[in-house]
Structure 1
Amino acid sequence: MNLYWHRRDLRGTDNRGLARAVSVSEGPVAPVFVFDPTVLEHAAPVRVACLLEALEGLRAWYRERGSDLLVVRGEASDAIPRLAAEYEADAVVWADDYSGLARERDRAVTAALEDDGVACESVHDSIHHEPGSITPNEGAHYSVFSYFWKKWRDREKREPLEPPAADALADVAGDPLPSRSELGFDKPTATPQSVTQAAARERTTEFCSGPIYRYADNRDKPAVDGTSRLSVHLKWGTIGIRKVYAATQRAAERATTDDDRESVAAFQRQLAWREFYAHVLAFNPETVTENFSGYEHPIPWRNDPDELAAWKAGETGYPIVDAGMRQLQAEGWIHNRVRMLVASFLTKDLLIDWREGYDWFRRNLADHETANDVGGWQWAGSTGTDAQPYFRVFNPMKQGREYDPDADYIREYIPELEGVPADAIHDWHDLDPDRRAQLAPSYPAPIVDHGERREGAIAAFEQARGE
């Protein structure tokens, strides 16, 4: 018998690790999940809720096939060898994870299994191309996305895998899943989307049957359901990346116009961004806490606690920014265009360290992935790979007017502005206090002047550059 250790691949179909465990086992395979307290230290209520829902779905999937998911609590370096001994396993297989925390955990598990004489193997699964497989002529990885994208789009992709046969899975009975409170987490304030294998398949089919052909035009419009909403499924692995990519390829084959095909390619480009950041993190695990791009001097972050609190609460007086932060509170998710806006506002208008924003996202996003969020925050903070130049600062008023012209998205998340004309919402910073009080007395005035703060941010970054 072999054990298969699920981590962030909570599915049975198109799972390369599970398939490998079955192919090399002389007997049936028993699936395992470990609630590791070291990993849970970095979790959050909304993600624990997603995790438990995904695990319930995975357990049901195994039970339909006469097996079950073994569930244990404890340090993985103790729990996995203990299970291997209990079930007399010949080997333990798992899928790679590329964060520094995951690699440290996996090294400890590997050492413990080897001490017990149990074989172990990790399998590349969560992205198409393993870190180190797409490289420049010099260096371990690309730091400019456009070069990475050119190779990624032309590189052959693996086909999705079928699930293992039922008789390849062990007839085992697992203990009940612990509750959220038993794991030490409060009820989340956000209500995230459903995170199951069925929900992932349904969303992929729905997106690739129509919205993907309008993705290039609609992806930046937060009031429109124009994005895939697959990020949380890719984070938890309730669908495999090969399944998603194959669905986009079929969509491209069905496309009847060049615009449709270009729109599909625009979405595939976003899949490549996700992979680009995974490669960067794999070779630079320190970027979780350190700037990727160095400056001659430290960036003079202001780090005003009151301004940070207003940003977190969606009370900055900049409607598009506040709508995004309130969407985060409500759903554990933010539209991608608005993620960039709120990050730019924090790091440039408020001149608050990107790490503060990353930490807030880590504690509140259902789809938080270390590589993506570190990459995105350092992009916005002009400290990362292929980052936004420090002198390009998003204007939140112009962005709101361009991407949410009717203010439908803003009003959805800021009820104080219900009934306020769109022009007044987009001109909120220019309205006099009496007019603001007349239109929306409970919504705050802008906490900073964007023009002044833009100039201050540019000067601060130039100072850090030694200019």
Structure 2
Amino acid sequence: MLLHWHRCDLRAADNVALAEAADDDVLPVFVFDEAVLAHASPPRVAFMLDALANLRGWYRERGGDLAVGHGDPADVLVDVAAEHGADGVRWNHDYSGLAQRRDDAVRTALEGADLDHRAFHGDLHHEPGSITTNDGDPYSVYTYFWKKWRDREKEGPYDPPADEALVDHAGDDLPTLADLGFDDPDCEVEPAGADAARERLAAFCDGPIYEYAERRDYPAEGCTSRLSAHLRWGTIGVREVYAATEEALSGAADDEARESVEEFQSQLAWREFYTHVLFFNPGVVTENYREYENDIEWRDDDDALRAWKDGETGYPIVDAGMRQLREEGYLHNRVRMIVASFLTKDLLLDWREGYDWFRERLVDHHTGNDNGGWQWAASTGTDAQPYFRIFNPMTQGERYDPDAEYIRRYIPELSDVDPGDVHAWHELETDERETLAPAYPAPVVDHGERREAALAMFERARGESDD
């Protein structure tokens, strides 16, 4: 009999390590690890607990159960294996530095207990080190990575374990948020579990995927998959998602629709690209990928940071995004780029402040993706936005939310303001703003002035680094 150690793979189908373990009798286990929970937040833990409840329900319907442990996985897994007479443990890889250190400690403990162990790259199509330059180095430019990723053959989804493989076990109750030391989330957390994930995938592939390339940047239109939290927590597998996109591709009506499906597939590749970057450069969680880290003169401005977090900057598209994040634990991808650019290039604040806030608020927080995205926006990361290309938040709002539908959805103070005035908010006179929306703030900075300051800041840093 084998244990399967669930981590961020909270599903039974398309689970490589679980399928391998189910060649024998298998007991699934989840460990509430204090070292991991120390980096967690109420929205993410709430989603995780819902996903675990759904997964446990799936096992119980088939005569099995999910064993639950608390503490150091190196100790818990050895104890559970001894209690049930298991011969070994299987799991899917995780790729952050913290996860790699944890897994090394688990391997050492299992070897000391004479327990077999094996880990699988079950949450990626292509494991780190399998897509490299001709010299064998990891890619630092996404375009080249994508071309190879796209052309590599991909496995199909794995079947869930057969009912008869599941060990009959009466597991302990799942803890509550309070049991784990967390308050209830102050946002609406979407339903978790494999069924919810499949419903989202089916709805997306039934239509929106064919307009994804053209419409995905418009936050009011909902032309995105909203699968990010499910992929992050593994309530659906990457092979299942990709198989659905391939089926959609085969049903595309024309070249434009096919290109749109391929654009979505390229976003799946971005996820793997940043995971590979993280695996080979675990220090990027706290350090710039580029060399001039210590020479960038980030500002210290608690008031500006608070205005950004609260959605009170006076730049409507930025504030709408930050309020969506606070209300839903989610943020549209285009708006993620806008708010990140504003923090780093307009407020001139360290990207790590934004990364930490996203980690606190996002249900779908993924170390590789979020870190890669923040360093892209800050022009400090691999394949990043050039430092001299700085988003104009007003132009971005006017281009991607022309009718101010998204903005007015999250900023009720502007609900009766004409879209033209919303997008010209930074140009209005004080008395005009006070007449139109007295409860909404004036811009906290002048974008033009801060753009010049950002260019100078980066040029100084680059020059000092070259010296």
TM-score by length of 2: 0.98
Structure 1 Cα separation of the partners of residues 343 and 6 of structure 2: 36
Is the aligned partner of 1:13 residue 2:13?
A: yes
Q: What's 1:75 paired with?
A: 72
The amino acid that maps onto 2:365 is H
Q: CA deviation at 1:206?
A: 0.6
Distance 1:414 1:281, change over 3 A: same
Per-residue deviation, residues 359-383 of structure 1 (Å, max 9, x unmatched) = 0000110000000000000000000
Pairing partner for 1:52 from 49, 52, 62: 49
Per-residue deviation, residues 251-300 of structure 1 (Å, max 9, x unmatched) = 00001100000000010010000000000000000000000011286100
Q: CA deviation at 1:139?
A: 4.6
Which SS does the other structure have where 1:185 is aligned? coil
Pairing partner for 1:369 from 366, 370, 386: 366
Q: CA deviation at 1:53?
A: 0.2
Q: What's 2:355 paired with?
A: 358
The amino acid that maps onto 2:171 is G
Per-residue deviation, residues 211-241 of structure 1 (Å, max 9, x unmatched) = 0000011100000010000000000100000
The amino acid that maps onto 2:22 is V
Q: CA deviation at 1:77?
A: 1.3
Which SS does the other structure have where 1:93 is aligned? strand
Query: Do the aligned residues in 1 keep the contact of 2:287 with 2:293 (CA within 8 Å)?
Result: no
Is the aligned partner of 1:244 residue 2:241?
A: yes
The amino acid that maps onto 1:168 is A
Structure 1 Cα separation of the partners of residues 293 and 331 of structure 2: 34
Pairing partner for 1:217 from 214, 232, 236: 214
Q: What's 1:415 paired with?
A: 412
Query: Do the aligned residues in 2 keep the contact of 1:297 with 1:466 (CA within 8 Å)?
Result: no
Query: Do the aligned residues in 2 keep the contact of 1:140 with 1:283 (CA within 8 Å)?
Result: no
Q: What's 1:391 paired with?
A: 388
Aligned length, in residue pairs = 464
**Structure 1 segment 33-432 matched on structure 2, within 5 A:** 33-295=30-292, 298-432=295-429
The amino acid that maps onto 1:345 is F
- Deviating runs (4+, > 6 A) in structure 1? none
Is the aligned partner of 1:434 residue 2:431?
A: yes
Structure 2 Cα separation of the partners of residues 236 and 173 of structure 1: 24
Which SS does the other structure have where 1:368 is aligned? coil
Structure 1 Cα separation of the partners of residues 452 and 368 of structure 2: 30
Q: CA deviation at 1:75?
A: 1.1
Structure 1 Cα separation of the partners of residues 53 and 198 of structure 2: 16
Query: Do the aligned residues in 1 keep the contact of 2:22 with 2:162 (CA within 8 Å)?
Result: no
Query: Do the aligned residues in 1 keep the contact of 2:8 with 2:234 (CA within 8 Å)?
Result: yes
Structure 2 Cα separation of the partners of residues 91 and 231 of structure 1: 32
Which SS does the other structure have where 1:34 is aligned? strand
Structure 2 Cα separation of the partners of residues 143 and 288 of structure 1: 16
The amino acid that maps onto 2:361 is N
Per-residue deviation, residues 49-95 of structure 1 (Å, max 9, x unmatched) = 00000000000000011000001111111111111111111010000
Which SS does the other structure have where 2:314 is aligned? coil
Structure 1 Cα separation of the partners of residues 300 and 2 of structure 2: 51
Q: CA deviation at 1:138?
A: 2.2
Structure 2 Cα separation of the partners of residues 360 and 303 of structure 1: 16
Q: CA deviation at 1:140?
A: 2.9
Q: CA deviation at 1:17?
A: 0.8
Structure 1 Cα separation of the partners of residues 165 and 253 of structure 2: 43
Query: Do the aligned residues in 2 keep the contact of 1:296 with 1:466 (CA within 8 Å)?
Result: no
Per-residue deviation, residues 131-166 of structure 1 (Å, max 9, x unmatched) = 000000225310000000000000001001111110
TM-score by length of 1: 0.98
Structure 2 Cα separation of the partners of residues 41 and 437 of structure 1: 44
Which SS does the other structure have where 1:402 is aligned? helix
Q: CA deviation at 1:455?
A: 0.4
Q: What's 1:452 paired with?
A: 449
Structure 2 Cα separation of the partners of residues 264 and 209 of structure 1: 12
Query: Do the aligned residues in 2 keep the contact of 1:296 with 1:465 (CA within 8 Å)?
Result: no
Structure 1 Cα separation of the partners of residues 442 and 189 of structure 2: 30
Structure 1 Cα separation of the partners of residues 393 and 282 of structure 2: 32
Q: CA deviation at 1:303?
A: 2.5
The amino acid that maps onto 2:300 is N
Per-residue deviation, residues 392-442 of structure 1 (Å, max 9, x unmatched) = 000000000000000000000001111100000000000000000000000
Per-residue deviation, residues 312-338 of structure 1 (Å, max 9, x unmatched) = 000000000000000000000000000
Query: Do the aligned residues in 1 keep the contact of 2:132 with 2:139 (CA within 8 Å)?
Result: yes
Per-residue deviation, residues 346-365 of structure 1 (Å, max 9, x unmatched) = 00001100001000000110
The amino acid that maps onto 2:310 is A
Structure 2 Cα separation of the partners of residues 349 and 138 of structure 1: 39
Structure 2 Cα separation of the partners of residues 194 and 376 of structure 1: 25
Query: Do the aligned residues in 2 keep the contact of 1:357 with 1:377 (CA within 8 Å)?
Result: yes
The amino acid that maps onto 1:185 is F
Distance 1:412 1:167, change over 3 A: same
Q: Which structure 2 segments of 5+ residues have no match?
A: none
Which SS does the other structure have where 1:457 is aligned? helix
Structure 2 Cα separation of the partners of residues 136 and 210 of structure 1: 36
The amino acid that maps onto 2:449 is E
